Amino acid sequence: MYGLGAITANNGWVMSVTGALIVFSGLAVLSFVISQLHKVLNLWENRVYYYQKLNNNKRQTDKAESTQEKTPSQPVSPQDMDDNIVNYMPLLEELGESFQLSELYVLSQKKGLGHPHLSITYLRQANILISQGDGVFTWNQQKVINNL
């Protein structure tokens, strides 16, 4: 058997189409790699610049994470009431005569004071923060002055 009959009988048409597709795919991939080669070479030539840029971005993200995770300025305990009062004195001037306890809490968080819930609780227990009712508080000026 010779000719087209032999090709058909032995799956020659399928093998020839498959071979052509393999060659065409290989050429397409090769042309894509060649078209993008200038970008790879640019990256290789400027690798020091990109390495420094990558390190700077990493440092900035590390710095941003460290500022977000503020550590308490100092441990808070009832025995450290003098330090607690000193930490909260700047807030006294910002809040004025009477203020909401929630305002004090938000402000102490913004300033990065350690453990605002505990600190405010200890200030209330020591009668340095005096309740006026309806969530309004004032500072006991005499106790503040006596503790300083």
CATH number of 78-147: 1.10.10
**CA dist., res. 70 & res. 90, Å (int):** 19
DSSP secondary structure string for all residues of 32-67: HHHHHHHHHHHHHHTHHHHHHHHHHHHHHHHHHHHH
Q: What is the pLDDT of residue 31?
A: 97
- What pLDDT, on a 0 to 100 scale, did the predictor assign at position 2? 84
Say which DSSP state 112 is in.
Answer: T
Least confident segment among 75-84, 98-107, 135-144: 75-84
Neighbour-count burial of 136, counting CB atoms closer than 10 A to its CB (0-12 exposed, 13-18 middle, 19+ buried)? middle
Say which DSSP state 127 is in.
T
Does residue 70 surpass a pLDDT of 60?
A: no
Q: Calculate the average pLDDT of the chain.
A: 81
SS3 110: helix
The larger pLDDT score, comparing residue 32 to residue 132, is at: 32
Q: Would you say residue 75 has pLDDT above 90?
A: no
pLDDT at 12 over 80: yes
C-alpha to C-alpha distance for 24 and 22, rounded to whole angstroms = 6
The number of angstroms, rounded, from the C-alpha of 39 to the middle of its chain's C-alpha atoms is: 31
Domains of the chain, by residue range, sit at 4-67, 78-147
